[in-house]
Copies of this chain bind each other. A is one copy, B any other.
Amino acid sequence: MAKEIKTIGVLTSGGDAPGMNAAIRAVVRKALSRGLKVKGIYKGYNGLLNEEIKDMTARDVSDIISRGGTVLYTARCAEFRTPEGQARGAEVCRKHGIDGLVVIGGDGSFAGAQKLAALGINTIGIPGTIDLDIACTEYTIGFDTAVNTAMEAIDKVRDTSTSHERCSIIEVMGRGAGYIALYCGIANGAEDILLPEKYDYDEQKLINNIIENRKRGKKHHIIINAEGIGHSASMARRIEAATGMETRATILGHMQRGGSPTCTDRVYASMMGSYAVDLLAEGKTNRVVGYRNGEFTDFDIDEALAMQKSISEYMYDVSKALSI
């Protein structure tokens, strides 16, 4: 028989993402509206081990839906990667009466959730990462805001790039996943997109493309570079030397993690937070919430962590066709 849940804990873990506050608010209020108690755990698994835990009321999450960051803070926790740390985590949950736990974070955070579930704490993961690099879901909290932040910044770089008839290399986040780069590439009408998923990086091809584009009358050349592909500043120097076109590099950096969440991030994060509480109330554990094929759904964490995600070849091809 499914365990009956009385008190839900909620924490955010790993890199923060805009919309996490909307998810926290949804967990708190949906749980309260179902007659459950809710406790906020501060600073991720770290705060769990340190017992930084507080009761949450409906008013504690007033006015947070529009704010970036996470009111519960977040941190990495080496200790929680050990069996001892995990055992202590489960113990702290029991001590505080937390029989259901919602973990908002990425794959690393879900690995922790999996361990707690195995130790008898009913646990549900919600995908929160700006990188969209979680295989079981088409939506992760923060991606939509991050990609709009990056796009708006690149629009601005493009203005000055055009005025000076310059080449601009803009480095966006996403070390292992090129979604931000691919979306910005299309949305900003970039001439080239460098993705970790494509193994065809060839600087000479890039240089030839710049030279051809100038001949076709293009006033600038925008290259979107996913973090980790190469060193943008030295790439800029080599390109300028080879093409004679003034070339500048911009690394957007941590601003992509912040800001008031977009409507999609607020709404979908709210739905996922609410959905996670429903799962716990039904006695489910070791599940991760996803959005797939147009609806909210859930997956076994073990299966979710085993899935692979690839980037859309079709989108990449379209980006190429539209950059003429």
Contact = CB atoms under 8 A, between A and B. Distances in A.
Interface of A: 12, 15-16, 18, 25-26, 29-30, 32-33, 43, 58-59, 62-63, 65-70, 73-75, 138, 144, 147-149, 151, 153-165, 168, 183-184, 186-189, 216-219, 248-260, 262-264, 266-267, 270-271, 274, 292-294, 315, 318, 321-324
The 3 closest A-B pairs by CB, nearest first: A156-B258, A159-B258, A68-B159
A59 B29 contact: no
Contact of A153 (B153, B188, B262, B323): B153
A272 to B, nearest CB: 10
Contacts of A151: 263, 266
Given A73-B162, A248-B253, A249-B253, 7 more contacts: A33-B324, A65-B188, A66-B155, A68-B156, A153-B153, A183-B267, A186-B270
Contact of A69 (B12, B162, B168): B162
A322 B159 contact: no
A96 to B, nearest CB: 23
Contacts of A33: 321-322, 324
Nearest to A66: B155
Contacts of A147: 263
